[in-house]
Structure 1
Amino acid sequence: MTANIRVADHAGACYGVERALKLARRCGAEATPPVHTLGPLIHNPLVVRDLASSGVELAETLDDAREGTLIIRTHGVVPEVVDAARARGLDVVDATCPYVKKVHDAAAQLTREGYQLLVIGEAGHPEVEGILGHAGARAQVVGEASEVAGLTLKPRVGVVVQTTQTAQRLSEIVAALAPRVRELRVVNTICKATEERQRAAAELAAASDCMIVVGGKNSGNTRRLAEICAAACASTHHIESEDELDPAWFAGAYEVGITAGASTPQEHIDRVRARIEQIMSGE
């Protein structure tokens, strides 16, 4: 019986990632050298390696990029970092995802209006750190509904969300907050692309005997896709490249599903699919 290999309807690089990659590649070819990204441009080690081979190096801190061009990663940074880079004479190219910028704006607005700001997301994640930088010193990060009980809350609370969080987590945390405050204002800043990928992945996983999730192991949105798929398909495997595929995973599988995080270029998905086809055909 021939296996049916399907890719989720929504999978792979989102608009913000594609935009950032175009900017970075253009800088590698045209911008004032040396060219660095401040931190990984996106959470995909294979892409970061490919960018380095094309002249776009990785700078972990500003001290690692003393001249030339500095690209701000898709996750954004605190405003002071951009100011410091320009003060050093660096040419700054901002590749922050436009949807992340909307979170920055919403966080700043809620803070100006006097709300106690909560950011639903992963503490320490670069995107969350950037949001906090636009929200003021008193903003707090909440990762799970269970954390709400330990918060000291003011009567008026505003909420924004890391773009790659799940709608379920947002709902759980909002439900925990609502009974404890007089006014709760929630700005749902989960990216539409994230929601689409999560929904499509869950549907495909539920109909698959084996599910492959492609993307960086350091990518929060890809890890969440893997969690969602694992809840629907016990044989779910998160990989970064086709080299990690194990033929044993596909033994007895008829329906094989593939999805990929928002930081995964299409060519990575294509290589994984091609390799699965080889495995299933016995090559």
Structure 2
Amino acid sequence: MIIELAKNYGFCFGVKRAIKKAEQIKDAATIGPLIHNNEEIFRLQKDFNVKTLENINALSNEKKAIIRTHGITKQDLEKLKETDIEIFDATCPFVTKPQQICERMSNEGYDVVIFGDENHPEVKGVKSYVSTKAYVVLDKEELENVKLPNKIAVVSQTTKKPEHFMEIVNFLMLKVKEVRVFNTICDATFKNQDAIKELSTKSDIVIVVGGKNSANTKQLFLIAKTHCQDSYLIETEAELKEEWFLGKKHCGISAGASTPDWIVKNVIAKIQTFNC
């Protein structure tokens, strides 16, 4: 059986930057998981004493706090600055960008439409920078019965699919007098999604490796599943089942933006032990 890696996969710039910061800082606490990969979070805690707190209210006697790659809300950041804790900001620059856009546009009187998952920490952070009205939506249907203002700015969660973002933009263009559109989808997301689409069309089994709470990893899995029915999302090699591979000739592998290479290597090594 051929095992082929996607042309683009795994750690993105923002995650690499955050991991490097955490390793250098050591003995610190992150506000929420630094990245969406439990195995890497465990490694940072074990090797660098970087622990994860559920939220800002869980801070006690910590001396150093790391802001997660997804960012935190503007209000939590202000609270954090009022303490004596040393702050290290590991927010991905691609996440900081929509935060800044939302703050600027709402200061100019625009309401803001955010294409994304309202419960995702990145979106919560971005929304907190809107001082006018924010509409968080996952599809255009959610806006159909909403009385919209004359001025709207549109941003996206960094890991969303561009074609779905454009559906919302096109809808607003027909309904609202002035629409300011900001494409805040990360280009690493584009590349990983294009790569898994290409790979899954020629594979008869696809393994996507990454955190099951990771938005970008779930997007990769959905794309793979569209083109290859036998696609599976796993966090570690322990979840692999040999029967998945019986009769398969071509196995494609991709990984989410928070998935380290050492986990991908473990997955490949485990697959190679199967008698397929």
- TM-score under structure 1 length normalisation: 0.94
1:251 CA drift (Å): 0.9
Deviations 1:122-180 (A, max 9, x none): 01110000101112252120111221213221122110111001112101212222211
Among candidates 40, 55, 61, match of residue 61 of structure 1: 55
Other structure's SS at 1:273 match: helix
Provide the C-alpha distance between the structure 1 equivalents of 2:132 and 2:216, rounded to a whole number of angstroms: 26
Q: Which residue does the alignment assign to 2:40? A: 47
Q: Letter of the aligned partner of 1:22 in structure 2?
A: K
Among candidates 24, 30, 39, match of residue 37 of structure 1: 30
Q: Which residue does the alignment assign to 2:208? A: 213
Deviations 1:218-247 (A, max 9, x none): 001101110111000000000000110111
1:51 CA drift (Å): 1.5
Deviations 1:36-64 (A, max 9, x none): 10000011111111122121111112232
In structure 1, stretches of 5+ residues that fail to align are none
Matches within 5 A, 1:1-283: 3-28=1-26, 33=27, 35-54=28-47, 55-66=49-60, 67-136=62-131, 138-279=133-274, 281=275
Other structure's SS at 1:150 match: coil
Paired-residue identity, %: 38
Q: Is the 8 A contact 1:205 1:257 kept in 2?
A: yes
Q: Is the 8 A contact 1:42 1:73 kept in 2?
A: yes
Deviation >3 Å, runs of 4+: none
Provide the C-alpha distance between the structure 2 equivalents of 1:5 and 1:158, rounded to a whole number of angstroms: 44
Q: Letter of the aligned partner of 1:156 in structure 2?
A: K
Q: Is the 8 A contact 2:35 2:41 kept in 1?
A: yes
Q: Is the 8 A contact 2:207 2:254 kept in 1?
A: yes
Provide the C-alpha distance between the structure 2 equivalents of 1:166 and 1:275, rounded to a whole number of angstroms: 31
Other structure's SS at 2:257 match: coil
- TM-score under structure 2 length normalisation: 0.96
Provide the C-alpha distance between the structure 2 equivalents of 1:49 and 1:15, rounded to a whole number of angstroms: 21
Q: Is the 8 A contact 1:12 1:259 kept in 2?
A: yes
Deviations 1:1-23 (A, max 9, x none): xx111000000010000000011
Deviations 1:168-207 (A, max 9, x none): 2101212222211112111000000001101100110011
Provide the C-alpha distance between the structure 1 equivalents of 2:108 and 2:189, rounded to a whole number of angstroms: 28
Structure 1 window deviating more from structure 2 (107-116 vs 248-257): it is 107-116
Q: Is the 8 A contact 2:112 2:132 kept in 1?
A: no
Provide the C-alpha distance between the structure 1 equivalents of 2:57 and 2:111, rounded to a whole number of angstroms: 34
Provide the C-alpha distance between the structure 2 equivalents of 1:265 and 1:27, rounded to a whole number of angstroms: 19
Provide the C-alpha distance between the structure 1 equivalents of 2:145 and 2:138, rounded to a whole number of angstroms: 12
In structure 2, stretches of 5+ residues that fail to align are none
Q: Letter of the aligned partner of 1:57 in structure 2?
A: K
Provide the C-alpha distance between the structure 2 equivalents of 1:256 and 1:151, rounded to a whole number of angstroms: 46
Provide the C-alpha distance between the structure 2 equivalents of 1:76 and 1:56, rounded to a whole number of angstroms: 17
Other structure's SS at 2:144 match: helix
